[in-house]
Structure 1
């Protein structure tokens, strides 16, 4: 059969997207005190209006101690009206909307959360300058159940899909990594044990939502760190998840927010910009040894395609290609290689209406230059610095219609911390 047109409708579990383009999860830095703001709604409406089939809200922690920033949206009663306002606004533009859910684990921000960062094994995080503690089995049971509750709430809030974060050495990904998981119980040792938490999480999500919304997993192929999780282990884990029947689609990613943050992004490392938004003593650390912790990797279009093709060959699940999707040529290659969808992040930050532009002109390519200066902006509201040169949060932040919470106020009180993506 011929490959589908990327701009034709695509079936994702029980949901039909108007086309096969997805705004990838990129932490927006636009929530406030655990609730939605009007700026967060406007952020996603721009991509819906710009033509994507689905936009992904990132990152919605399943529990308070799983947040990578203390202002991230939590699945509380108070947050639900704002989440419903967001999904209604995206739907009004004809697009679907997904909620990225997960638990930060060792990438979580313990100071802002006022709770320890949890990990498969205790470890010091050099980048964040904090120590994580070993999660107990009771902790894991609580977190698995929290994923199910979050997914059920996503249905209630009007989301069309959930994307479960199994990558970047967040909690489930950290358990998969032999470099980070030194446990000797049923969650450590061999790959089946290390994959147990991810599989339990996905089962809880499926049991909670059934086939009411689509379920996507974002999973690492490669941690980008010697001794970490790699493709040879990712393939059987993907096959186990498929056999479990808990997924509608799989999106492969790479890199570790804990060990090698730039491995996913490729391109330039904006050290000065990172240092500029960090508090002391992290600022001094970035200036002193940032070049050793934040490594630069050459960018190329479709840079995850070759590895993702090996997963594609091993499973029958629909797959979403992420990484360097910047042109119609990359999209068409993905479709020809058997991928059902493509996901874009930086390219859409540069041009929210890029999908419409590509539909009008097949030769149109992204204007993104892969400088990665958008990355530090998630401390002040994620954006392309070549388009929007704001240095503070928007003064327009307020409560969306139906939102009963306290209006957000731009201020300097925000903690520097790791961000999801």
Structure 2
């Protein structure tokens, strides 16, 4: 029997209850354009340009559920005061033909407690490097309140015009810290077994679905591997456990898709990005002890992983075999060939990040000419710019570099 051709990735598709114009998603990449924790004209223009460039869904990041859930105080947190600006933002995205998604979450141990003037949280007490302090471990009652806060924040996002929500279960943010056996040493019903460690993320997904109803798409960004090597009993979250969590999410029925990701903002951020490790530029983005720490520890903290297209595919294929629900492939999607590879391997949607910082109109140009190649050279100089308006320094002319 001849295999049926896959649908055109640039044709309208369905993701749960929504129908984006194509299967390309602008992934969540913190924009660094909200100095007062509210939408700015710069943020609106940033997303309008990407939407005009042809993606089907444009994800806004990062929308925290509480003031203390931010990596620093300059990020949006979802409260009534943020709604008018968010409505302007989603209207601008919709006007260009794209749907709007909000990445919602709590930064957990990645939060900067000094900047936020609120304690950082994690499954168990641990050092919080951004605030040079120890995290607090929420009680069972605190977890229940946080779950309600996730639901409230999700409703605020939907009231602001977002068509979809991404629940952040990656990079050792709060929900991811509960999943990690390295970071979660709890002895109650939220620690120990994988089912217990997955309880909080599953409760959040259920509460968010109940809050927003059936007409909003919800997907989870889910770590497949924290990037921490096994050392006897000390290990981070890995792909085998990620497959089990994906099965639990699928059985629960609250999510419309999963976006597999990898790496840890605490322990190994470059495992998500691959390509050059801009150690000096990262250190110079900070001041004081953080700058000195990054200068001294850069080679350990910012490892180098060679870039290849679809570099997360080998791990993500294991999730593809574990569940039947839609999956979104992230990591090294730059051209028609990588899009087609993802589709042929069973991924329903693809997510693009750095390539859109270099060329926001790349999707339109790929749709018009399948031979189009991305100009992104994976130098990762965009990464340190999240502290001063996220951008491609090569595109803006700040850096001259060729492949």
Q: Distance in 2 between matches of 1:127 and 1:270?
A: 19
The SS at the match of 2:277 is coil
| Residues 83 and 157, structure 1, Cα contact 8 Å, conserved in 2 | yes
Quote how far apart the aligned CAs of 1:126 are.
4.5
Q: Distance in 1 between matches of 2:321 and 2:54?
A: 30
Query: Match for 2:89 among 86, 89, 104?
Result: 86
Q: Distance in 2 between matches of 1:252 and 1:246?
A: 17
Query: In the alignment, which residue of structure 2 is the partner of 1:402?
Result: none
Q: TM-score, normalised by structure 1?
A: 0.91
Q: Distance in 2 between matches of 1:371 and 1:140?
A: 39
Q: Distance in 2 between matches of 1:294 and 1:130?
A: 21
Q: Distance in 2 between matches of 1:141 and 1:65?
A: 16
Query: In the alignment, which residue of structure 1 is the partner of 2:325?
Result: 317
| 1:300-330 Cα shifts (integer Å, max 9, x gaps) | 1000111111111111111110000011001
Q: Distance in 2 between matches of 1:110 and 1:70?
A: 9
Root-mean-square deviation (CA, aligned residues, Å) is 1.2
Query: Match for 1:361 among 343, 347, 369?
Result: 369
Q: Distance in 2 between matches of 1:179 and 1:389?
A: 42
Q: Distance in 2 between matches of 1:307 and 1:204?
A: 29
Query: In the alignment, which residue of structure 1 is the partner of 2:263?
Result: 255
Q: Distance in 2 between matches of 1:289 and 1:339?
A: 37
- Is 1:154 equivalent to 2:157 in the alignment? yes
Q: Distance in 1 between matches of 2:314 and 2:295?
A: 34
The SS at the match of 1:55 is strand
Unaligned runs of 5+ in 2: 230-234
Query: In the alignment, which residue of structure 1 is the partner of 2:335?
Result: 327
- Is 1:287 equivalent to 2:295 in the alignment? yes
Query: In the alignment, which residue of structure 2 is the partner of 1:306?
Result: 314
Quote how far apart the aligned CAs of 1:283 are.
0.9
Q: Distance in 2 between matches of 1:378 and 1:197?
A: 29
Q: Distance in 2 between matches of 1:34 and 1:137?
A: 29
Query: In the alignment, which residue of structure 1 is the partner of 2:112?
Result: 109
Q: Distance in 2 between matches of 1:300 and 1:74?
A: 35
The SS at the match of 2:101 is strand
| 1:131-158 Cα shifts (integer Å, max 9, x gaps) | 2122222221121111111111111111
Q: Distance in 2 between matches of 1:219 and 1:62?
A: 18
| Residues 34 and 74, structure 1, Cα contact 8 Å, conserved in 2 | yes
| Residues 303 and 324, structure 1, Cα contact 8 Å, conserved in 2 | yes
Q: Distance in 2 between matches of 1:13 and 1:297?
A: 34
The SS at the match of 1:222 is coil
Q: Distance in 2 between matches of 1:297 and 1:231?
A: 18
| Residues 182 and 188, structure 1, Cα contact 8 Å, conserved in 2 | yes
| 1:90-117 Cα shifts (integer Å, max 9, x gaps) | 1001100100000111111101111111
| 1:311-363 Cα shifts (integer Å, max 9, x gaps) | 11111111110000011001011111111110000011110000011112101
Cα distance change on mapping 1:323 and 1:128 into 2, 3 Å = farther
The SS at the match of 1:174 is helix
Query: In the alignment, which residue of structure 2 is the partner of 1:400?
Result: none
Q: Distance in 2 between matches of 1:161 and 1:207?
A: 14
The SS at the match of 1:281 is helix
| 1:11-34 Cα shifts (integer Å, max 9, x gaps) | 011110001101000000001222
Tell me which of the two structures has the higher relative contact order, counting C-alpha pairs closer than 8 angstroms and 6 or more residues apart: 1
Q: Distance in 2 between matches of 1:373 and 1:307?
A: 25
Unaligned runs of 5+ in 1: 392-421
The SS at the match of 2:223 is strand
Query: In the alignment, which residue of structure 1 is the partner of 2:75?
Result: 72
Query: In the alignment, which residue of structure 1 is the partner of 2:304?
Result: 296
Q: TM-score, normalised by structure 2?
A: 0.95
Quote how far apart the aligned CAs of 1:127 are.
6.4
Query: In the alignment, which residue of structure 2 is the partner of 1:269?
Result: 277
